[in-house]
Amino acid sequence: MKKPPRKLGRELAWIIGIKIVLLLVIWKAFVAPYRVQVDAAAMADSLRTAGMASQHLEKNNAR
């Protein structure tokens, strides 16, 4: 008995491979050049401010 052709599997593999390559190209072109530098002091200040804001909201909503 003949084996059925594996055309569908081959086509799906090509499509997935092409999609991965396109995603990598898009990431390299639009995302990678804009890396954000974060220092510890700025991050700590941001977290502290966000924490105080959420505490303030909780106190106002506790009425």
Each residue's pLDDT expressed in tens, for the chain with a length of 63 residues: 677 668 999 999 999 999 999 999 999 999 988 888 889 998 888 888 876 666 555 566 555
Q: Can you give the residue range of the structural domain that contains 20?
A: 8-61
For residue 38, the surrounding DSSP H or E stretch is none
Q: Is residue 3 part of a domain?
A: no
In a domain, 1, yes or no: no
d(CA 42, CA 34): 18
pLDDT of residue 52: 66
| Dist. CA 10–CA 14, nearest whole Å | 6
Quote the pLDDT of residue 61: 58
Q: Give the count of domains, the chain.
A: 1
pLDDT score of 47 = 83
